[in-house]
Amino acid sequence: MQCYIFGVEYAIRMYGPEIENVIFDLGGVILDLEVSKTMDAFGKLAGVPASVIRESVTKSPFFNDYEKGLLTDAEFRNRIRELLKKEVTDWQIDKAWNAMLGALPRARLTLLEELGKKHGLYLLSNTNNIHLQFFNEIVRSVSWHARLEPFSINDYYSHLLKMRKPDAAIFEHVLRQNELNPSRTLFLDDNPDNLAGAQKAGIKTIHITSTDQLFSIFS
| CATH numeric code, 8-33+103-218 | 3.40.50.1000
Q: Is the peptide bond before 105 cis (omega within 30 degrees of 0)?
A: no
pLDDT, one tens digit per residue, over 131-162 is 999 999 999 998 888 778 788 889 999 999 99
pLDDT, one tens digit per residue, over 68-110 is 999 999 999 999 999 999 999 999 999 999 999 999 999 999 9
Cα–Cα distance, 207 to 191 (Å, whole number): 7
Mean of pLDDT values over 105-126: 91
Instruction: Outline which parts of the chain fall under CATH 1.10.150.240.
Output: 35-98
Q: State the pLDDT at residue 123.
A: 96
pLDDT, one tens digit per residue, over 29-67 is 999 999 999 999 999 999 999 999 999 999 999 999 999
CATH ID of 35-98, from 1.10.150.240, 3.40.50.720, 1.10.540.10, 3.40.50.300: 1.10.150.240
**Among 103, 96, 63, residue whose Cα is nearest residue 79:** 63
Cα–Cα distance, 137 to 105 (Å, whole number): 13
pTM: predicted TM-score of the whole model, two decimal places? 0.90
Instruction: Outline which parts of the chain fall under CATH 3.40.50.1000.
Output: 8-33+103-218
Please, what's the b/e burial string for 188-218 (b: 16 or more CB within 10 A of its CB; e: otherwise)?
A: bbbbeebbbbbbbbebbbbbbeebebbeebb
